[in-house]
Amino acid sequence: MLEELAVTVAQPRKLRAGIIGLGMASGPHALSLLDLQDRVEVVGAFSPTEARRKAFADRFGLPVVDNADSIFDDPSIDYVIVLTPPNTHLALVERAAASGKHVLLEKPLEISLERSRQVIETAEQAGIKLGIVLQRRFRPVFTETARLIGEGMLGEIVSASLRLCNWRDQSYYDAPGRGTLARDGGGVLLTQAIHTIDQLIVLAGLPTQVTGFAATSSVHRMETEDLVHAALRFDNGALGALSATTAAYPGFPDLIEIVGTRGTARLEGDGGIIHLMDGRRIDLHDGSPDGGSGADPMAFSHANHRAMHQDFLDAVTTDRQPRASGAEALKAHRLIDAILRTSATGQLVDV
């Protein structure tokens, strides 16, 4: 009789991570990392503000450090999670690339299309993974809708539109740097609507032409846009509309609508409905709205952040690109840049 051989399967080692930036965006990331402690170890989290470091350590029990160098100079750290204002992203990605560390970067890529391209080029030249925090790609309702549309359930797409009606009171924009060109690069498009724009592009592709208007409404005192309306044309001739604002009190769920030759898909709030011309109706619901559409921009579950972190860890350990890669995120930046250009020039703009 052959003796049974005991086979020991080696478990992959934990990845080691550092966090740069401990503002309000750090909460769902910290909760996600705590959920994934079997796969990742947080070595240190940095903010230049002592009060933020203390608050973060007290709330999450994760280690903090008082300088960024201890993260970038630590050869045992595999990747950094960058949660700082947009205008700092390029310099921090350059530092991570120089030390061979992968980067999970809070959206947007940077404050301009050109600087966003530089972020991607820096990562590519260094051979590091670059993931972007576009967590709504990972909502179960969205991933299922994308699968069904990709399989042709709706037929040929003839219309693709989105509506984002958020509410931010004036105190939100009174925070230093918020909604400015120098720090944020823009207003509602880069800061809020980029998530929904990214989803629309995944479902219907990147529009090829755009015309429309972007403005600052009388609701807010701010430098950049809080109100946008645009018309879209896609490569196959499909048309669409984009409406985005942070002036819609008290805030309403995002809406994405895809119309095809066989039916229509509508995603709104925490659910979705697909109506097909053959009489079928598919109801989708995941119970995890991820909009932060009201006055509290962080009023959402961290479930989609956790799924995004899992995907990034898989990308690093299996040597593939993250689902929300820099190249993927750049598509939304291209559309946002085109909308702002058409508003400024009054001309139809190619994306």
For the cut 70, the answer to whether the pLDDT of residue 134 exceeds it is yes
Find out whether 245 and 188 touch, Cβ atoms under 8 Å.
yes
Question: Given this model, what pLDDT does residue 269 score?
Answer: 86
Q: For strands 271-276 and 227-233, give the pairing.
A: unpaired
Question: Given this model, what pLDDT does residue 299 score?
Answer: 63
pLDDT digits (tens, 9 = 90+) for 183-237: 999 999 999 999 999 999 999 999 999 999 999 999 999 999 999 999 999 999 9
Can you list the positions of beta strands (E) in 9-101?
15-20, 40-46, 64-65, 79-82
Average pLDDT in the 127-137 region? 97
Structure tokens given for 14: 């934990």
- The whole-angstrom distance between residue 194's C-alpha and the CA centroid of its chain comes to 7
pLDDT digits (tens, 9 = 90+) for 27-65: 999 999 999 999 999 999 999 999 999 999 999 999 999
* pTM exceeds 0.85 for this model: yes
Average pLDDT in the 84-99 region? 98
DSSP string computed for 297-310: TT-S-SHHHHHHHH
Q: What's the burial of 331, exposed, middle or buried (CB within 10 Å: 0-12/13-18/19+)?
A: middle
If we measure between CA atoms, which residue out of 308, 294, 324, 334 comes closest to residue 190?
334
Structure tokens given for 85: 């204002």
Model confidence band, residue 300 (pLDDT cutoffs 50, 70, 90): confident
The β-bridge partners of 133 are: 106
Model confidence band, residue 288 (pLDDT cutoffs 50, 70, 90): low
